[in-house]
Amino acid sequence: MIVKHAKDVNGTNCDVWIRDGKIRAFGVDLPVPEGERVIEAKGLILMPAFIDTHCHWRTPGFEYKEDIATGSAAAAAGGYTFVNLMPNTKPVCSSAEIAHEVMAKAKEVGLCDCNQTVSITKNFDGKTLDHLLELPDDLRCISEDGNGVMDNAVMARAFAIATDRSLIVMSHAEDREISPWDYRLAENIETVRNCHLAEYYGTRLHMCHVSTKEAIRAIRQAQYSGARVTCEVTPHHLWFDDSRLQYKVNPPIRKADDVEALVEGIRNGTVSCIGTDHAPHTAEDKARGAAGMVGLETAFAVCYTKLCRECGLPLEHLSALMSAGPAGVLGLSTKGLLAPGFDADLVLVDIDHMFTVHADELHSKSKNCPYDGQSFYGKVMLTLKAGKETYRSADFKG
């Protein structure tokens, strides 16, 4: 396969030749090898496919909200070929057996690969860490997503184990004794604690869905101090502030000055990547107070419209936030770049195409989408995973 007449993120004409799931050549006016299928991409931007550091596909245990097939389809429609799944399932993903089952099922579906994160404490019990000593080498990410480890001593031991075993701690920063009455303080206190533990133990720490100006400042200070800390922000924490949306997500939608701080954190390099926190719920669960929203299918358009169209961020920077940045966080050495030898995980987008989000048309099983009825620029036209089509928009004729 060869993709012809696209433009890269800098507006330069480019072609890409794909063979055996890898990028064979990338350049201008590449010759068409005999017998190769040609995809005509004139007028479209070619980028590395997107990688999500923070996602929920609800398997096992909550397949009525999302399953691996529908989650994979949503990811592909959003331009994603790899996602990192959180462990707050039923049962909690605290073992290699569960993690490998989920990853194998995603591979069988074939639309989007995944890494399954394992819980920091066994079954989220807040104290047991022995299972971390037995994780195989292909499972490197641990998280207490949705909970946060409350006990300082337990978290310190977890960081020590993570350093010794080369694990990445992915932190949902929330002190649950404080969050019922002050969620800002709850996020900020846990952010400072975990950044200090990362510096103290030399642990790789990734802060999930950062949402406050104080948390961004603490992370930047930790980075200046030499701590191995990265962080993500979500599209919804960039797009909304609490004057524009009252919708339950965790952490909450913040103030306008928090949004400004997140954007500045992107500009100055504090923020490493975009994480969708794609969190499907049924209408009934949302009515009962479940926190979260779907976001895989809208992530690029929301971020492109906000960051590039409104804030003037170069498209090259956004591409890095959605591809090379998360690949670096997750240690995916053959993904995230358009270069010979890298996986042929690619996405074609039309940055001038404005479209309206209709929740009932999303590929996700759940429709909890506060963007419903809103319009954005940046439509995903084609997604390729290892050189094979996993999504094609009805608007794409190439």
Longest dimension (CA), the chain: 66
Query: Two tokens at 247?
Result: 């919708």
Strands 346-356 and 45-48: antiparallel
SS3 state at 177: coil
- The answer to whether the beta carbons of residues 396 and 348 sit under 8 Å apart is yes
Distance CA 36, CA 17 (A): 9
Q: What amino acid is encoded at 173 in this protein?
A: A
State the Cα angle at 320 between 337 and 140, rounded to 5°.
75
Q: How many H helices and E strands in the chain?
A: 11, 17
SS3 state at 34: coil
Query: Two tokens at 290?
Result: 């479940």
Q: Scanning the structure block, which residue is given the tokens 């990547």?
A: 273
Q: Scanning the structure block, which residue is given the tokens 């533990």?
A: 197
175: left (phi over 0), alpha (psi -120 to 50) or beta: beta
The residues annotated with a catalytic role in the active site are: 277
Query: Two tokens at 361?
Result: 């048309």
Report in angstroms the alpha-carbon separations of 305 from 8, 88, 292, 376, 396. 18, 31, 22, 6, 20
DSSP 8-state assignment for residue 292: -
Using alpha carbons, select from 141, 100, 138 the residue that is nearest to residue 118. 141
- The answer to whether the beta carbons of residues 386 and 21 sit under 8 Å apart is yes
Q: What residues does 133 pair with on adjacent strands?
A: none
- Helix, strand, coil percentages (3-state) for the chain, rounded to 5, are 30, 25, 45
Using alpha carbons, select from 288, 278, 247 the residue that is nearest to residue 366. 278
Q: What amino acid is encoded at 154 in this protein?
A: V
What is the dihedral sign for C-alpha 100, 101, 107, 111?
Answer: negative
